[in-house]
Amino acid sequence: MLRFLARRTLGAIVILLLISAITFFLFFALPAEPARLACGKNCDPTSLAIINKNLGLDQPVPVQYAKFMVGIFVGRDFAVGHCDAPCFGYSFVSQEPVWGTIVDRFPTTLSLAVGGAAVFLVFGVGIGMIAAWRRGTWVDKFVSSLSLLGASMQIYFVGVLCLAWFVSGLGIMEQPAYHSVTDNPAKWFSGMLLPWLVLSLIFMANYSRMTRSQMVEQLQEDHVRTARAKGLSGRTVFFRYAWRGAIAPIVTIFGIDLGSLFGGAMVTEYTFTLHGIGRLAVESVQLTDLPMLMGVMLVSAAAIVVFNILVDAAYAFIDPRVRLA
Amino acid sequence: MTSPSQTGVVEKAAPAAEGGAPPGLAPRQLMWRRFRRDRTGMVSAGVVLFFFLVALLAPLISTLYGKDPYTTYGLDRPELLDPLTGYPMKPNGGIDGEFWFGIEPKLGRDVLMQLVYGIRTSLLIGLAATVLSTVTGIVIGVVAGYMGGRTDYFLGRLIDLLLSFPQQLFFVAFMPVVTALFVSPQKETPTYFRVTALVLVLWLLGWMQLARLLRGQVLSLREREFVEAAKVTGASPWRIVRKELLPNLGTPILVQATLMLPNFVTTEAALSFLGVGMVEPTPDWGRMFAKGANFYEGDITYMFFPGIAMVVFVVAFNLLGDSVRDAMDPKTTR
């Protein structure tokens, strides 16, 4: 187990290094002058030179990359001052440190991801299991067509409709906003409720489809038939035997989804004006704030990679046949 | 999947029997026959076809309907829009006999024409990205699977690397990079270039799933007798790929491509919704959602047409994908 984790972590570090290098070189090497992007539309040569000097953009790109990577681990000195250990540089636009901004925005994304994931996992898997339990009946058909419809919905459509109907129209839901959990849990809950529901609506469909097909497959397996033949109750067979087998692929997908949600749910955050990582990414793209984008990109990639490892480790617990060596 | 040996036999038998009695149906004909019997499949194929026709015939629709997507009717004729709020005077987003789907708030453009031309833009981008990704996926997957060894290893790692990129974020982040690469920031980005950039970005991260799938298929196919037989008779690798492998990969390719297209269309729409895809004044499906999100408090009707059109499009495509799979591979149970 330990050896497996060590190997996977090493692999993850290599992947993250590659992603950081590719991203960095694309961002900073390709556009003729990144400082010009930082400088805006009306820009004179003197201010360009100052920006270049302050941000170290006058050096060759590999040197810049090396300094950037070293800065992440030990901190870095800029002309404007020292930047502490996880240093991703300063925003071109707000001049704020990138890491500080990301840390600021993270609780919103975390709340959205955890809450949304809880809703879609419980309901998605639950609905899928009901459909499998009642396979072939009207319940199954109804749930299946509902899932198909749900999977075809887009957050930027459903989300805005919900805002119009439930928030502005009927006023039964609060305007989505992030309030700190520790300050006011009730406000936090009511502010995040609509984003959770809309986000999970889209995912729920996928999960119920997948759960259903996995369960249906598992219920035809030999060991399930044997369990039935032994005279075990339908419930035991369903939950103890079939479900155990069906859960592994669901965990895989869930890990991947959760990882990408931690990196920011861009469309959801943008639709509901939540100031999380995803919205930060969109804003920095709109303002061509390259250091910020670079920081967000690395944090998101790290989230995905870390969750991939967790999923693989979880596999060993769920499915004893999988040996991690 | 139709079994490879069967495919080979039927295809080789067909020319010989041409003159005489019908030799039975080719796999393709069997597929078509199964597909035609599937009512859901036929209906969804019709819906999908309808969307493509709308996109293709947009200029004709514009002529017949007598309006275009750029003219600001509301500004030219002040009686159409409320001068204070900019929302349409008539209820339900200004729907009437003249403006079938209503008019856009503020600018007063025709919603039907916006949608028709928007579908045209989005489908063009989605289709181009699908074709490019499918071709890339086929080439890389078949090369990796057939060559094996070191080539396979490196292509496999490349796929792994690209799959661990945060995909959505990558799409959003690289749009300005690709744009800045060719157009200096001071200049206006031309429309055709934005389209190209979107296609490039979607293509870059769109081909890996298909490549990985095909690699696996080729790995098992190349050990089969009929490939070995072809090798023994001295067929060149190119001929083996073309005549022995590709015909057997038709099912996964077609199924994956039908999954890819709606994915690309919705991703493109999401990008435009986020403001990094197509921009004014080019009509675009996704950009209509961005507009609609601004107006939702005053005029939700505007959002309905692009929204419902997109739901119908994606549902039809998903159903079509299922039906294609069923028709090509009757063994699968759903």
Q: What is the pLDDT of residue A80?
A: 65
Q: What is the pLDDT of residue B5?
A: 45
A278 to chain B: which residues are within 8 Å by CB? 169
Do A127 and A208 contact (CB within 8 A), yes or no?
Answer: yes
Q: Which two structure tokens, joined as six digits, stand for A214?
A: 């996995």
Q: What is the pLDDT of residue B49?
A: 92
Q: How many CB pairs under 8 A join A and B?
A: 129
| CATH assignment, B39-71+110-328 | 1.10.3720.10
Where along chain B do its domains lie?
39-71+110-328
A18 interfacial to chain B (CB closer than 8 Å): yes
- ∠ CA B299-B305-B309, rounded to 5°: 155
Rounded Cα distance between B258 and A262, Å, is 29
Integer CA distances (angstroms), B206 to A259, B146, B159, B161, B171, in order: 19, 21, 11, 13, 10
Integer CA distances (angstroms), A58 to A29, A41, A51, A64, A292, in order: 12, 20, 9, 9, 19
A151 interfacial to chain B (CB closer than 8 Å): yes
Rounded Cα distance between B169 and B270, Å, is 11
The answer to whether the Cβ–Cβ distance between B180 and A31 falls below 8 Å is yes
For chain A, percent of residues with pLDDT exceeding 70? 91
The residue in chain B having the minimum alpha-carbon distance to the alpha carbon of residue A290 is B173
**DSSP 8-state secondary structure symbol assigned to residue B205:** T
Cα–chain-centroid distance for residue B307? 17
Rounded Cα distance between A201 and A154, Å, is 10
A143 interfacial to chain B (CB closer than 8 Å): no
User: What are A289-312's pLDDT values in tens digits?
Assistant: 778 888 888 888 888 888 888 887
HSE on the CB side for A235, CA within 13 Å? 0
Selection from B135, B176, B146, B162 nearest residue B260 by Cα? B135
Rounded Cα distance between A306 and B147, Å, is 32
CA dihedral B325, B331, B333, B334 (to 10 degrees): 10
Say what the pTM is: 0.82
Nearest-neighbour CA in chain A from B24: distance (Å): 34
Q: What is the pLDDT of residue A192?
A: 84
Tell me the ipTM for this assembly: 0.81
Do B252 and B260 contact (CB within 8 A), yes or no?
Answer: no
| SS3 track for A96-133 | CEHHHHHHHHHHHHHHHHHHHHHHHHHHHHHHHHHHHH
Rounded Cα distance between B115 and B285, Å, is 6
Rounded Cα distance between A117 and A111, Å, is 10
Q: Which two structure tokens, joined as six digits, stand for A101?
A: 């901004």
- Of residues A323 and A184, more confidence is placed in A184
- Of residues A78 and B231, more confidence is placed in B231
Instruction: Tell whether the model's pLDDT for residue A163 goes beyond 80.
Output: yes
Do B114 and B104 contact (CB within 8 A), yes or no?
Answer: yes
- Of residues A32 and A126, more confidence is placed in A126
Rounded Cα distance between A203 and A115, Å, is 13
Element (H, E) at B250: helix B246-273
The answer to whether the Cβ–Cβ distance between B293 and A156 falls below 8 Å is yes
Do B263 and B133 contact (CB within 8 A), yes or no?
Answer: no
In sign, the C-alpha dihedral spanning B4, B9, B12, B17 is negative
Do A134 and A189 contact (CB within 8 A), yes or no?
Answer: no
The residue in chain B having the minimum alpha-carbon distance to the alpha carbon of residue A153 is B311
The answer to whether the Cβ–Cβ distance between A164 and B297 falls below 8 Å is yes
- DSSP state string for B46-113: HHHHHHHHHHHTHHHHHHHHT--SS--HHHHSTTSB-TTT-SBSSHHHH-SSSSTT-B-TTT--BHHH
Instruction: Tell whether the model's pLDDT for residue A269 goes beyond 80.
Output: yes
Q: What is the pLDDT of residue B22?
A: 53
B309 to chain A: which residues are within 8 Å by CB? none
User: What are A142-152's pLDDT values in tens digits?
Assistant: 888 888 888 88
Rounded Cα distance between A299 and A262, Å, is 9
- ∠ CA B65-B70-B76, rounded to 5°: 90
Residue B100 burial (10 A CB sphere; 0-12, 13-18, 19+): middle
Residues in chain B, pLDDT under 50: 1-21, 333-334
The answer to whether the Cβ–Cβ distance between A36 and B185 falls below 8 Å is yes
Q: What is the pLDDT of residue B6?
A: 45
Instruction: Produce one character per residue of B295-332: b if its CB has 16 or more CB atoms within 10 Å, e if not.
Output: bbebbbbbbbbbbebbbbbbbbbbbbbbbbbbbbeeee
Average pLDDT, chain A: 81
Q: What is the pLDDT of residue B331?
A: 59
Rounded Cα distance between B283 and B121, Å, is 7
The residue in chain A having the minimum alpha-carbon distance to the alpha carbon of residue B166 is A301
Integer CA distances (angstroms), A1 to A176, A309, A318, B259, in order: 43, 12, 14, 37
Q: Please provide the distance, in angstroms rounded to a whole number, between the alpha carbons at the two ends of chain B.
A: 15
Cα–chain-centroid distance for residue A268? 11
Q: Which two structure tokens, joined as six digits, stand for B312?
A: 């119908």
Question: Which A residues, 28 through 87, put their C-beta within 8 Å of a C-beta on chain B?
Answer: 30-32, 36-37, 41
User: What are A185-226's pLDDT values in tens digits?
Assistant: 777 888 888 889 888 888 888 888 888 888 888 888 888 888
Q: What is the pLDDT of residue B10?
A: 43
